Structure 1
């Protein structure tokens, strides 16, 4: 196929791609504890169906111990051609507070060229990008193709890491496309060359056998919620910089968004200050960050006049690409013990970690991607960092050090991933699928 034919094939496939994305987004495939397994398994089944529709000869679900199945597909390489591994995930973040959504998170809604719904961008757009790019070749891609779509990246991505370490030949490839990132803005072609690592844990504070009346016992009775609030507040100074020893600020060598651009994409309210020191790129892509992502405490509507005996928080830590997530979590947990008041009892559970990523200098695959992306977008891409984490990437680097790893996708900074009103721009989805299909063609002819 010629590049013109590839572009035309992707464009012709877009109505089906949008319909397939709507079907996938409608499935509430939240792979977190406490959520039902059936929708996650339904998303795996639909992902398998979609990959079969590309014409790839080998498609199946593969059990992942302790997790949900991965969907795997493969087409052998033509003689002399390289092999490309394509990655995405079909699970999604929980929707959170439904009252903050303008449309229902699992009723995908098309508004002004955007499809709204949980997972529309992160990362079901990645699944559909792969499917649409592969459909352009009608089952005969110009390179060898392997596809791995996992089912629990958002909560416990390290499960697939362990699977890869035990089954390296299944995923061995010359180049690896990770479709779980995106551009700073719609139409601004970018390749993600660094990822922060991450860690997370749940911390529980206990002070009393049970709740007691705040009038009868309040004052001397230690309040577990007040203790936890003090501990969490101690993590940052008044400027928003971290107070945890051993977690210094980093520096990102490339360019990042301006403060105005960041405020707009993050939706920071007028007059509210940004937190931390250094450039926006330094803070986003090269420094540690700690976020309290959940609290188990009485709700305001259900509050009673009582001193709380127990309080819990979920804490997430982002780690610079070269940092060690485990030692970082150790430092944060040690610090929380040190600042805990009143000799409260502390328990830390549900620890997860994932390493960061820093791309090596570009090779043949990156040059091929640059040409493909320039044709799809009308201008060459630039390098960016990402503050998020993709647990599998660091494992792929260790397992396949000779493979080039390329991160790009249909998300953008305004896509509201992990937040209410997540959406994907459908023109960006088309450009991403076009880029991927053109890359497979360029890479095949470059060697």
Structure 2
């Protein structure tokens, strides 16, 4: 099988470069034509790979979703749903890129471009598996290639409203990758997310700090005192009721994490416990925005108004409403200098954790070891993928697996995003081995032949 995948790599690389050259940014203010162009290219590539049924799903205010079907080769064969997305993040400041973000450029071992890892590499990995089997894999296939994942869309909540379309036995979410290059990784959980806005108003308008400072209540000072209660002296979240559990599986080394986050060696990390516990199985509260006078335009005046937006990440098993309510309740209970806060809850998104003991996971562990030559690790992620929960609700009996061609060092959402061709190649091998092993498991269960396909 590996030799057959190697023979496909030149064509897969060329198709990845074609797709990554399209600035398919499905954000407001960006032109829709490149998104449509990327959609049409994905449709064309899938049809060329043998997917006879390819449909376009159009939902309100949402870029088109590519939906494809390959029927199971036998009545007792399982069906696997493959997910990816063809839209990308905005490139950001082009001055921070070493090459134009939508001109795929060779780098040592791979290619650099916006979206080339997240998530166009995984779209191409799905394509590679289909090409390997000549469009006739040993399982049924459903393909869902989304066009507005990065910004969010009506599709997040759509699958449970149309469960027949998404019915399957296993779901492979190709929107993640390995903990580090060369380390096969299955992501088993994602933290939930919630936003909260907290604001303070103390004066009708600014007042001279020399004449009024010392007695007039400073709104920014009040806000800073309130924000300081969110963490203890070690940097651990101090809001009661937010779930935290030990993390016993694989995680980053401190050196890896410092490098990934660009943290100087002379600065401490926040919090206590393992990195996995701080990043994945425990809560995090980040101040993501602050409204206050800018330093360069500051006047000598008592600040009358200040506001902050907080992003809360919480344990996969904690209810989003409960987690957000814990943070809101904590802030409303604060009275810095006797002054109340106005606290407004915002959007929430659920976390997700999947069981790992079923036949799809057994097949995936075999496949990942075959592809990378070493046993797979389990990790979680602090980020959120809202659609995972929607697909799991649409197909509640399906096992959900998260793996792919990205790796944690690929600079996704950052300047100079890159993908390693070795990770892409091994992901194609893993997908092909996974459907082979998964089909054989089903055939063995019903007493049929266990022939799986390409060797």
| Partner-residue secondary structure (3-state), 1:327 | helix
Q: Deviations over 1:36-79 (max 9, x none)?
A: 54444443333333323322011122013343322111111111
Partner of 2:297: 303
**Would the alpha carbon gap of residues 371 and 273 (structure 1) be closer, same or farther in structure 2, given more than 3 Å must change?**
same
Where does 1:68-147 land on structure 2 (aligned, <5 Å)? 68-80=63-75, 81-147=77-143
Distance 2:293 2:40 in 1: 39
**Alignment counterpart, residue 378 of structure 1, candidates 373, 382, 402:** 373
**Alignment counterpart, residue 263 of structure 1, candidates 255, 258, 262:** 258
Q: How many residue pairs end up in the alignment?
A: 439
TM-superposed deviation, 1:226: 5.6
> Which protein has the larger Cα radius of gyration, Structure 1 or Structure 2?
2
Where does 1:270-281 land on structure 2 (aligned, <5 Å)? 270-281=265-276
**Would the alpha carbon gap of residues 187 and 288 (structure 1) be closer, same or farther in structure 2, given more than 3 Å must change?**
same
Partner of 2:281: 286
Partner of 1:190: 185
| Partner-residue secondary structure (3-state), 1:379 | coil
Q: Deviations over 1:329-376 (max 9, x none)?
A: 222233344447585874747x33322222213222222222222221
TM-superposed deviation, 1:164: 0.5
Question: Any conservation in 2 of the 1:230–1:340 contact (CA below 8 Å)?
Answer: no
Is residue 328 of structure 1 aligned with residue 299 of structure 2? Answer: no
Question: Higher mean Cα deviation, 389-398 or 429-438?
Answer: 389-398
Distance 1:194 1:162 in 2: 19
Partner of 2:388: 393
TM-superposed deviation, 1:306: 7.7
**Alignment counterpart, residue 352 of structure 2, candidates 348, 353, 357:** 357
| Partner-residue secondary structure (3-state), 1:85 | strand
Distance 1:47 1:225 in 2: 50
**Would the alpha carbon gap of residues 149 and 273 (structure 1) be closer, same or farther in structure 2, given more than 3 Å must change?**
same
TM-superposed deviation, 1:202: 5.5
Question: Higher mean Cα deviation, 42-51 or 166-175?
Answer: 42-51
**Would the alpha carbon gap of residues 369 and 263 (structure 1) be closer, same or farther in structure 2, given more than 3 Å must change?**
same
Distance 1:164 1:237 in 2: 41
TM-superposed deviation, 1:147: 0.7
Is residue 250 of structure 1 aligned with residue 245 of structure 2? Answer: yes
Partner of 1:433: 428
| Partner-residue secondary structure (3-state), 1:240 | coil
Question: Any conservation in 2 of the 1:206–1:344 contact (CA below 8 Å)?
Answer: no
Distance 2:431 2:196 in 1: 36
| Partner-residue secondary structure (3-state), 2:106 | strand
TM-score by length of 1: 0.86
- Name the Cα RMSD after superposition: 3.1
**Would the alpha carbon gap of residues 31 and 286 (structure 1) be closer, same or farther in structure 2, given more than 3 Å must change?**
same
Q: Which runs of 5+ in 1 are unaligned?
A: none
Distance 1:205 1:40 in 2: 42
TM-superposed deviation, 1:434: 1.6
